[in-house]
Amino acid sequence: MKKLVLLGITAFLCACSNASREKIEMTEKDAHLLIQVEHQAYADKLNDLWNRSYPKQKDALHFVVQPYYFTQDIKQDIIWTNDIDATFLKDKLMEIKEVSYTYDVPDSLQREELSDYYTPVIGEGLVFCYRKDLLEKNKLSEEDLVSFEQMAESHVRYYHNHMGEYVYPFFAKLLPKETIPFTNLFPKEQTIKQLKAYKEINTKLDMPDDLIQQKDFYNGDDYLCGLLSTKFQYEKRGAYQNGNLHFMAMPSWQEETIAPPFTTFGFAVTKECKYPNTARQFLAMVRSKKGIQALLDTNMKVPLLCSEDVKDFYIYDHAKKELIEAVNTTQLYNLSMIEENPGITMEMLINQSDFTSILQNYICSKDSAAKVYKELVKNLRTWSIGK
């Protein structure tokens, strides 16, 4: 028995020794990392957490605080970028493998091709929201928001406009998942069917192109629900402060799950970084419990957390928790490309072409879906490949 105890103690001491050795080997002496972030408060929190966690490497982190913009002129060891831009910068990024993250990002918000190049932290985009007080006033419940068809039956007023990000959920399933020739884009029969269904739901739900209220629709009495951009300052509005603003998954449509588009922001290590092991330690810290709590404490927009992990953190109000969980039901933009012009992605096709204008005109006209389909294909072909 004593022999077994001694063996156990020896094994424990060896394990501790190995763990200590691994921690030392994971870092470089006199490491110096220049790190880009958007907010000073977040930089201060990360710097303080690092210095407490790694006192022997105190002051190894040096932050450059600046608003985010896409550039290929990279000057930092670790940049702050988003999943779309990181895809185009991939040849300038270092492949960082075997980082031990305590908390994962929802699968739907991770790009497989960036799994070793980019660490998502927060997100920005559209999330479905509703007004609890208006729901009660109209003698309705959350069950009336389960599908667009049910909303139409219950006469729910849904905020909508024909900007690309609002239209995207209704047509995302038509987009290819890989690079294809233009002739295979938007299959005729399926697209015509989708156009008819989109016009029908617009008519039934009375969805006008209300751009005037885009930033504040959730704060008045005109709309019971809709897609809210996380970029807008909803925290300062009465609907939020009174506890009446709530978040959930987007209603289904045609018996299928649909999801609003989202963009993630986070860190990527550049090829010029001289301290890759210290960079690994930094990335691991960012996705640790203390790292994520530091992010939450700065009140930055929407930290990326799996729904089952939300309970592990101190989050001060119901809406923030609902928002984080609702983000789990969003989708990343489709970045597949057109074979004839690899510079055009599916995201650009929806957001930058005349796609949404043609849709808007179709809603207001008596043209057939087949005629609009021909116009759509002709316009997109000219816009994307010029012939």
What CA–CA distance (Å, rounded) separates 361 from 224? 25
Q: Residue 236 corresponds to which tokens in the numbers above?
A: 């300062």
Measured N-to-C along each axis, helices 276-286 and 40-53 cross at an angle, to the nearest 10 degrees, of: 110
Question: Is residue 251 within 8 Å of residue 170, measured between CB atoms?
Answer: no
Predicted confidence at residue 3, as pLDDT, reads: 38
Estimate to the nearest angstrom the gap between the alpha carbon of 385 and the chain centroid: 29
Mean of pLDDT values over 67-76:
86
Q: Which residues pair with 341 in a beta bridge?
A: 338
Contact 126, 229 (CB under 8 A): yes
Residue of 304, 378, 318, 363 lying closest to 120 (CA atoms)? 304
Residue 27: pLDDT band (50, 70, 90) is low
Q: Give tens-digit pLDDT for 260-317.
A: 999 999 999 999 999 999 999 999 999 999 999 999 999 778 999 999 999 999 998 8
Q: Could you report the per-residue pLDDT of 338-349, keeping only the tens digit for each?
A: 999 999 999 999
- Measuring CA to CA, which residue among 18, 14, 30 is closest to residue 278? 30
Nearest-CA neighbor of 107 among 260, 306, 271, 267?
A: 306
Of 162, 144, 163, 164, nearest to 153 by C-alpha is: 144
In this prediction, residue 235 carries a pLDDT of 86
Query: Which of left, alpha, beta for 150 (phi over 0: left; psi -120 to 50: alpha)?
Result: alpha
What local confidence, expressed as pLDDT, does residue 5 receive? Answer: 38
The phi, psi pair for 310, rounded to 5°, reads -60, -35
Full-model pTM: 0.89
Q: Residue 290 contacts by C-beta under 8 Å, 6 or more apart in sequence?
A: 49, 53
Q: Residue holding tokens 């309970």? A: 311
| pLDDT value for 202 | 93
46 by DSSP, 3-state: which?
helix
Q: How far apart are CA 145 and CA 154, in angstroms?
A: 9
Share of the chain above pLDDT 70, in %: 93
Given a contact cutoff of 8 angstroms between Cβ atoms, the answer to whether 221 and 227 are in contact is: no
Compute the distance between CA of residue 224 and CA of residue 135 in angstroms, rounded to an integer.
7
**Residue 15 pLDDT > 80:** no
pLDDT for the residue numbered 14: 43
Counting every residue, how long is the chain?
Answer: 387
* Model confidence at 25: pLDDT above 80: no
Q: Say yes or no to pLDDT of 22 above 60.
A: no
Q: What is the pLDDT of residues 163-179, one digit of tens each?
A: 999 999 999 999 999 99
Instruction: Look at residue 6 and tell me whether its pLDDT is greater than 60.
Output: no
User: How confident is the model at residue 167, as a pLDDT?
Assistant: 96
Average pLDDT taken over every residue of the chain: 90
Segment 196-218 mean pLDDT:
90
Q: How far apart are CA 257 and CA 259, in angstroms?
A: 7
Nearest to 77 by CA among 34, 46, 120: 34
Q: Which of 116-125, 258-267, 314-323, 370-379 is the least confident region?
A: 314-323
- Helix residue spans in the chain (DSSP H): 2-25, 40-53, 83-88, 132-137, 148-153, 164-171, 188-205, 238-241, 276-286, 289-297, 318-327, 346-352, 355-364, 369-385
Cα atoms found within 13 Å of the Cα of residue 20, Cβ hemisphere only = 6
What is the spatial distance between Cα 369 and Cα 61, in angstroms, rounded to a whole number? 57
378, two tokens: 């002709």
Mean pLDDT of 11-19: 42
Q: What are phi and psi of 106, to 5 degrees?
A: -50, 135
* CA distance linking residue 159 with residue 213, whole number of Å: 9
Most confident of the ranges 17-31, 36-50, 58-72, 226-240: 36-50
Measured CA angle at 55 (ends 54, 60), to 5 deg: 70
**pLDDT of 13 over the 50 cut:** no
Evaluate whether 237 touches 294 at the Cβ level (below 8 Å): no
**Among 15-19, 36-40, 229-233, which is the least confidently predicted range?**
15-19
Q: Give CA–CA dist 206/222, Å, rounded.
A: 12
Alpha carbon distances (Å) from 104 to 83, 108, 110, 308: 16, 11, 10, 11
- 363-387 average pLDDT score: 93
Gap between the Cα atoms of 297 and 278, Å rounded: 24
Least confident of 34-38, 81-85, 98-102, 105-109: 98-102
